[in-house]
Amino acid sequence: MAPRLFSRRRDGRVDVRLSADGRAFVGTTARGVVAAERDVGHPWGAGLHAPINPASDADDPLAILSRQSDLASNAELVLATLEEAVLTDAEAWAWFCTLQVALRSIAVANGLLDDDAWNAQGGPLVEHVQTIQALLFALARVL
């Protein structure tokens, strides 16, 4: 059985058992979210800046600003805690949210919005997406 990447400690915090390569992957992903947040021309921009619920916040600049602020704050918190062995719930949640945002952005940027598009892809993009999914499932088990 493979070791768990994340586990809940008795004190309530989350142990991070990622290798250096795993941490580098999470860091690269978080830096991608930060870069996309700061550069509207970034390939992930469409996934980051699209309204989550178009009916409620498409025309509400305060809702959009609040969501963008959360995205950047979470990704920056991931980068700040990248080398930590133990995370608080808030830090683990920031990791989870940042990975979710990255996954959504990659899917939108690459048109991976249905089974046919997914099945037509291969190679590094599929491996990248599957790695993010594996990290999300591992984090979800402890949150």
- Is 1 domain-assigned? no
Instruction: Tell me the percentage of the chain whose pLDDT exceeds 70.
Output: 79
HEC string for 17-51: CCCHHHHHHHHHHHHHHHHHHHCCCCCCHHHHHCC
**pLDDT for 70 beyond 80:** no
- In 3D space, the residue among 103, 102, 111 whose CA is nearest the CA of residue 79 turns out to be 102
- Is 30 domain-assigned? yes
**What's the predicted TM-score (pTM) here?**
0.82
- Is 69 domain-assigned? yes
- pLDDT for the residue 92: 95
The amino acid at residue 1 is M
C-beta of residue 139 within 8 angstroms of C-beta of residue 15: no
**pLDDT for 55 beyond 70:** no
- Is 82 domain-assigned? yes
Residue 99 C-beta-side C-alpha neighbours within 13 Å: 25
As for how many domains the chain has, the answer is 1
- pLDDT for the residue 71: 58
Give the C-alpha distances (Å, rounded to integers) separating 120 from 110, 126, 134.
11, 10, 21
* Tokens matching residue 130: 């599957």
Distance CA 68, CA 114 (A): 26
Domain that holds residue 121: 6-142
| 85-98: pLDDT as tens digits | 999 999 999 999 99
